[in-house]
Amino acid sequence: MSVLNLSDKLRREVDAVAETAGYLWQKGWAERNGGNITVNVTDAITPEIEAITPLSEPIPIGMTLPHVAGKWFFCKGTNRRMRDLARDPMANASLIRVLPDGAHYQIIADQPVKPTSELPSHLSVHNYLLAKGSPYRASLHTHPIQLVAMSHTREFPKKDVLTHILWSMIPETKAFCPRGLGIVPYMMPSSVELAEATIRAIDDDYDVVMWEKHGVFAVATDVMEAFDMVDTLNKSATIYRDARAMGFVPDGMSDAQMREISLAFHLPK
């Protein structure tokens, strides 16, 4: 029996992950197994789910994260495809529980699918969010083509240079991604160093950070919100690219026009 028979709330979380995975594939941001999603689903766990015998022995996370101890996460499986996650989420992701030591986890259901190789980054971020008392429960890593392309030059990835260009391409970008785009210099995928640098960038007050020459990592209340922020930023990157392809450098909205947006939407920056 699938764990989804035990909790309507968990079913809704899994459906949202599957829907988002489908969008990532359709966008062309999820070549092969590219990208990953994790959601803190602790609120959806019933006593029946708590009583399930784990499918794995304790597995080390690679770091100790006290605030995720005892919490439950729905995680895309490593080497699994977003297009398969969209079609059959319970065969391409798994429900895990972090042990009370905050250093190990066990796979609980539905199948012994090993979580994403980026688990150190995802769990570090959830640990950070829980410590802060944040309502954010979802984290998303994906490979959005135009945003990643823009990280391939020294011109843009300086603090807030890219943010300013992206905000100025279309008014919605500042309104719906008001913290902009943080930058994490290139680091080895899946590494603890990348996880630590991601926390530092998020702590610098960003909801979306660029992993230079790799992808983006976004956090939000739910997975669809995280997707929408990345989609909005990538739309701006595409407008920028298209203007350049038409042979000119886009003017962008003026500072006064952007200030007007900040006032209208009560934005922090």
134: exposed, middle or buried (Cβ count in 10 Å: 0-12, 13-18, 19+): middle
Q: What are phi and psi of 130, to 5 degrees?
A: -65, -40
Contact 140, 20 (CB under 8 A): yes
Residue nearer to ligand 13P on the CB measure, 94 or 116: 116
Residue nearer to Zn ion on the CB measure, 76 or 126: 76
Quick check: 144 binds Zn ion (CB under 5 A)? no
Residue nearer to Zn ion on the CB measure, 89 or 215: 215
Strand order in the sheet with 215-220: 59-60, 104-109, 93-98, 72-76, 36-40, 138-142, 215-220, 208-211, 181-184
Quick check: 79 binds ligand 13P (CB under 6 A)? yes
Residue nearer to ligand 13P on the CB measure, 35 or 252: 35
Partner that binds at residue 70, options ligand 13P, Zn ion, none, CB closer than 5 to 8 Å by kind: none
Q: What are phi and psi of 252, to 5 degrees?
A: 75, 160
Quick check: 115 binds Zn ion (CB under 5 A)? no
Residue nearer to Zn ion on the CB measure, 157 or 215: 215
| Piece of the chain touching ligand 13P by CB under 6 A; list 13-21, 28-36, 220-228, 232-240 | 28-36
User: Looking at the DSSP assignment, which residues form a beta bridge with residue 142?
Assistant: 216
- Residue ranges in 244-263 that form contacts with ligand 13P under rule CB under 6 A: none
At closest approach, how far in Å is the CB of 122 from ligand 13P?
9
- Residue ranges in 182-221 that form contacts with Zn ion under rule CB under 5 A: 215
118 carries an active-site annotation: yes
- Our CA dihedral for 156, 157, 160, 161, rounded to 10 degrees, sits at -10
- Structure token digits, residue 68: 């995720």
Q: What are phi and psi of 209, to 5 degrees?
A: -125, 145
From 31, 118, 172, 196, the catalytic residue: 118
Phi-psi label, residue 144: left if phi above 0, alpha if psi -120 to 50, beta otherwise: beta
Partner that binds at residue 13, options ligand 13P, Zn ion, none, CB closer than 5 to 8 Å by kind: none
Q: 14-42 burial, b for 16+ CB within 10 Å, e for fewer?
A: bebbbebbbbbbebebbeebbbbbbbbbb
Question: How does strand 215-220 pair with strand 208-211?
Answer: antiparallel
At closest approach, how far in Å is the CB of 114 from ligand 13P?
8
Quick check: 100 binds ligand 13P (CB under 6 A)? no
User: Which of 7, 40, 92, 116: binder of ligand 13P (CB under 6 A)?
Assistant: 116
Residue nearer to Zn ion on the CB measure, 180 or 215: 215
User: Which of 118, 207, 225, 231: binder of ligand 13P (CB under 6 A)?
Assistant: 118
142: exposed, middle or buried (Cβ count in 10 Å: 0-12, 13-18, 19+): buried
Using CB under 5 A, list all residues that contact Zn ion: 215
Catalytic positions, written as ranges: 118
Q: Where do contacts with ligand 13P occur on this chain (CB under 6 A)?
A: 33-36, 76, 78-79, 116-118, 141, 189
